[in-house]
Structure 1
């Protein structure tokens, strides 16, 4: 899993953190990313880990629906 920090928005209290990961699909690996809005990296990481089953399910559904190499997920 790789993390990226995005520039802060105008509100000043939340930042977008992008987590990159890979999942297997049809015998190969597919790159995915999910962006989490959180006040800090610790909260973003905690959200990512606690919601991993939902994130993985959404990624697999996206891969099944769209035949693309990279799936980007927006989790509220």
Structure 2
């Protein structure tokens, strides 16, 4: 089993990491952010890719509901 690299001092100081992605919105792209509890960017990105179908559905539901913060859809991992 592959081990994740240890969090750098900068990542520890920054706290939980985010993973950014975009979804198609007609002919445009919608920026989205997934706030995670993971200490490293690699772990946050792996979580995003592993759970992509669920996260994409949540982002599309938020897009349909008009839930934007600063022009971006923000999803938070609990």
TM-score, length-normalised on structure 1?
0.70
The separation in 2 between residues aligned to 1:20 and 1:32, in whole angstroms, is 6
Moved over 3 A (4+): 39-42
Flag structure 1 segments of 5+ consecutive residues without an equivalent.
9-15
Q: Does 2:14 correspond to 1:7? A: yes
* Closer/same/farther in 2, CA of residues 36 and 20 from structure 1, 3 Å limit: same
| Aligned residue-pair number | 65
More strand per residue: 1
* Closer/same/farther in 2, CA of residues 43 and 20 from structure 1, 3 Å limit: closer
After superposition, the CA RMSD in angstroms is 2.0
Larger radius of gyration: 2
The Cα of 1:21 is off from its aligned counterpart by: 1.1
More helix per residue: 2
Judge conservation of contact 1:17–1:44 (CA < 8 Å) in 2: yes
Which structure would you say has the larger RCO, counting Cα contacts within 8 Å and 6 or more residues apart?
2
Which residue matches 1:72? 74
Q: Does 2:31 correspond to 1:31? A: yes
